[in-house]
Amino acid sequence: MKALTWHGTKDVRVESVPDPEIVNPRDAIVEVTATAICGSDLHLYDGVIPGMKAGDVLGHEFMGVVVDTGSKSTLKKGQRVVVPFTISCGGCFHCAVQQYSACENSNPAEKQDMSATLYGHPMSGLFGYSHLTGGYSGGQAEYVRVPFSDVGPIAVPDHLEDEKVLFLSDILPTGWMAAENAQIQPDDTVAVWGCGPVGLFAIQSAIVMGAAKVIAIDHYPHRLELARELGAETIDFRSTDVREALLEMSGGIGVDAVIDAVGMEAHGFAVDNMLDIAKQTVGIGADRARVIKQALLAVRPGGRVSIPGVYGGMTDKFPLGALMEKGLQVRSGQTHVQKYTGELLDKIEDGTLDTTFLISHRLPLEQAADGYRNFKEQQDTWTKVVLKPGMEH
């Protein structure tokens, strides 16, 4: 089959790899009909995530048709499904309490040590990402092996086209959980840093949850325009003092909740090196952690802090005092996708949530490498790339 494979920094290629097959009883094989490039795929493209191997198949946002099932899969051949990017077993303690992205059993035993050393506990398995999270082959391919297929994939009705439901795999639940983690109340003013796909979905979710005002912060004009179309007020941080503006726009109180949908590219994973690298790169590190620092200072006392943006390492000069003295609540984490897919599918179906506004480009799988380059280099206009195996060139 054809698949987008990783070979090094800014080196991804579409090439032929062996077809996947059923390996474990609960597996299914999905023939991919649509898959997207995620902002977090750019971390791999930029070579800043460790634990990658040449030839790894990328992609964690995908959907398609079930073409084969293991003896204990509950899926049926021919079913259309969207597959969550988090691989979750359904049988462990964390799955039982719906903390699916903390699944204890989906990351192979011998691959759990690295993240356990970094974070104190291992991460769960993820599709199409680093071997830190299992090294599972991803969805930017014609076929994918889907483990625990009785827990993750959600069947979608035929009348909803791929582009309406594809983002149930990651960014829609991620934006929704970001808003949920901000514990939005009806009279709230909410500030969202970053108008990429997750930020835009967080804005849309916050409005659905009843926020009185959402303020979006970015510097790309087109992305800010999309935020305005959703109903947000916008701040271009290049031309405005963000903290001053947020204080004024919230009547001097400060915003009730803040959402950091920017994150920071991880800067070094080997635990020995982490502190040194952080010190060596303090200029860059300080810039990159600026969003969460700014958010902590901007939020009102007693306010809420939600962090869907990806962080991987450590940071210096963290305003811990603001966190304590203002009595803030912080919630974060990889998305518990399986917890949200059913509810969000309903909201897509009844028109409460729209996902298609985000898509700027559609390409055949064969042109995936171009997609990566443009998504990286032309962020203003390339807001979301959907790849379609079998699409006419």
Partner 1 sequence: MTDSKRQIAGAAAGLGLAVGGLVLGLRAHRRRQGSDRAPGYTARHVHGPLDIAGRSVTIRRPRNELYAFWRSFPNLVDVMENVERIVVKDDDGKRSVWTIKAPGGTTVDVETEVVEDTQDERIAWRSVEGSDIETQGEVSFADAPGDRGTRVTLVVAYDPPGGKAGKAIAKLFMREPQVQARHDLKRFKMLMETGEIATSASRKENTRAAEKEKAA
Please say which residue, 104 or 236, places its beta carbon nearer to partner 1. Answer: 104
Residue with tokens 């195996």: 389
Q: Do 136 and 127 touch, CB atoms closer than 8 A?
A: yes
Q: 255-260 and 189-193: which strand pairing?
A: parallel
Please say which residue, 116 or 284, places its beta carbon nearer to partner 1. Answer: 116
Q: Which of 147, 194, 254, 308 binds partner 1 (CB under 8 A)?
A: 147
* Residue 96 CB partners (closer than 8 Å, separation 6+): none
Please say which residue, 86 or 205, places its beta carbon nearer to partner 1. Answer: 86
Interface with partner 1, residue 91, by CB under 8 A: yes
Q: Let me know how long the chain is.
A: 393
Site stretch for partner 1 (CB under 8 A), options 100-108, 198-206, 234-242, 348-356: 100-108
Q: Strand pairing partners for 81?
A: 64, 155
Interface with partner 1, residue 190, by CB under 8 A: no
Interface with partner 1, residue 105, by CB under 8 A: yes
Report how far residue 167's alpha carbon sits from residue 164's, in angstroms, rounded to the nearest whole number.
7
Q: Which of 73, 112, 234, 355 binds partner 1 (CB under 8 A)?
A: 112
Interface with partner 1, residue 15, by CB under 8 A: no
Please say which residue, 112 or 181, places its beta carbon nearer to partner 1. Answer: 112
Q: Which of 93, 119, 318, 357 binds partner 1 (CB under 8 A)?
A: 93
Token pair listed for 312: 């991987």
Site stretch for partner 1 (CB under 8 A), options 21-29, 308-316, 355-363, 384-392: 21-29
Site stretch for partner 1 (CB under 8 A), options 141-149, 162-170, 235-243, 369-377: 141-149
Q: 329-332 and 213-218: which strand pairing?
A: unpaired
Residue with tokens 């514990």: 183
Query: Could you say which residues in the range 62-81 bind partner 1, by CB under 8 A?
Result: 72
Site stretch for partner 1 (CB under 8 A), options 74-82, 144-152, 177-185, 358-366: 144-152
Q: Which of 109, 251, 272, 320 binds partner 1 (CB under 8 A)?
A: 109
Q: Which of 2, 26, 267, 361 binds partner 1 (CB under 8 A)?
A: 26
| Minimum separation from the CB atom of position 76 to partner 1 (A) | 20
Q: Which of 96, 158, 283, 324 binds partner 1 (CB under 8 A)?
A: 96
Interface with partner 1, residue 381, by CB under 8 A: no
Q: Which of 86, 101, 137, 140 binds partner 1 (CB under 8 A)?
A: 137
Please say which residue, 44 or 171, places its beta carbon nearer to partner 1. Answer: 44
Please say which residue, 137 or 294, places its beta carbon nearer to partner 1. Answer: 137
3-state helix/strand/coil string of the chain: CEEEEEEECCEEEEEECCCCCCCCCCCEEEEEEEEEECHHHHHHHCCCCCCCCCCEECCCEEEEEEEEECCCCCCCCCCEEEECCEECCCCCHHHHCCCHHHCCCCCCHHHCHHHHHHHCCCCCEEECCCHHHCCECCCCECEEEECCCCCCCEECCCCCCHHHHHHHHCHHHHHHHHHHHCCCCCCCEEEEECCCHHHHHHHHHHHHCCCCEEEEEECCHHHHHHHHHHCCEEEECCCCCHHHHHHHHCCCCCEEEEEECCCCCCCCCCHHHHHHHHHHCHHHHHHHCHHHHHHHHHEEEEEEEEECCCCCCCCCCCCHHHHHHCCCEEEECCCCHHHHHHHHHHHHHCCCCCCHHHCCEEEEHHHHHHHHHHHHHCCCCCCCEEEECCCCC
Please say which residue, 95 or 262, places its beta carbon nearer to partner 1. Answer: 95
Q: Which of 6, 62, 148, 375 binds partner 1 (CB under 8 A)?
A: 148
Please say which residue, 113 or 316, places its beta carbon nearer to partner 1. Answer: 113
| Minimum separation from the CB atom of position 316 to partner 1 (A) | 29
| Minimum separation from the CB atom of position 68 to partner 1 (A) | 12
Interface with partner 1, residue 318, by CB under 8 A: no
Report how far residue 190's alpha carbon sits from residue 250's, in angstroms, rounded to the nearest whole number.
9
Interface with partner 1, residue 33, by CB under 8 A: no
What is the C-alpha end-to-end distance of the chain, expressed in Å?
Answer: 18
Please say which residue, 72 or 76, places its beta carbon nearer to partner 1. Answer: 72
User: Which positions lie near partner 1, rule CB under 8 A?
Assistant: 18, 20-21, 23-26, 72, 89-93, 96, 104-113, 125, 131, 134-137, 145, 147-148
